[in-house]
Amino acid sequence: MKFRLSPQTLLVLEAFLEQAEEWKYGYDLSRVTGLKSGTLYPILMRLAGHKLLETEWEAASEPGRPPRHMYRFTPEGLRFARANVSAHANGALDQVALGLIPPSLVQG
């Protein structure tokens, strides 16, 4: 699959991999990843466009409260994220071992 994996996209994939079966909200993802809406939403749009992410409107839990848009991985998206996030982590560890990047960048 042709999909550009920027560091920001990897952050989003990592956030989705945390309790991957749960639905997630845009603002929560923004807080977890530290990405602004102008960066986060284009990534969500691309992931959804490639059918890696499914989207749904939340059923209104309380009257008067607007429904929110929710996102979670499709099975294909989950496979894609696991493969790419771990590959990136391995690559990053190799780079740390070679002294190309500082260890602080791959911790956490």
Partner 1 sequence: MGAPRKLAGALLRAVLRLAPPESRDWALAMLRELDFIAGEWAALLWAIGSTAAILRHAASGWRIWLRGKSNKEAGMNSTGKKALGVGLGMLSALALVGCAFAVLRIAGIVFPALEHSPWAYWLAVLAIPEAVFVIATVMLWRKRGPVAAGILATGLVMALHVAVHLTLHW
Question: Which residues here bind partner 1, judged by CB under 8 A?
Answer: 25-27, 30, 36-42, 45, 55, 65-69
Could you tell me the smallest distance in angstroms from the CB atom of residue 53 to partner 1? 12
Could you tell me the smallest distance in angstroms from the CB atom of residue 102 to partner 1? 29
Helix (H) or strand (E) holding 72: strand 69-73
Cross-strand bridge partners of residue 57: 69
The residue (of 38 and 99) whose beta carbon lies closer to partner 1 is 38
The residue (of 24 and 81) whose beta carbon lies closer to partner 1 is 24
Could you tell me the smallest distance in angstroms from the CB atom of residue 88 to partner 1? 24
Could you tell me the smallest distance in angstroms from the CB atom of residue 58 to partner 1? 9
Of 61, 66, 71, nearest to 12 by C-alpha is 71
The residue (of 23 and 82) whose beta carbon lies closer to partner 1 is 23
What are 44-48's contacts with CB under 8 Å, separation 24+?
Answer: 44/12, 44/71, 46/3, 46/9, 47/9, 47/12, 47/77
Q: What's the distance, CA 56 to chain centroid?
A: 16
The residue (of 30 and 84) whose beta carbon lies closer to partner 1 is 30
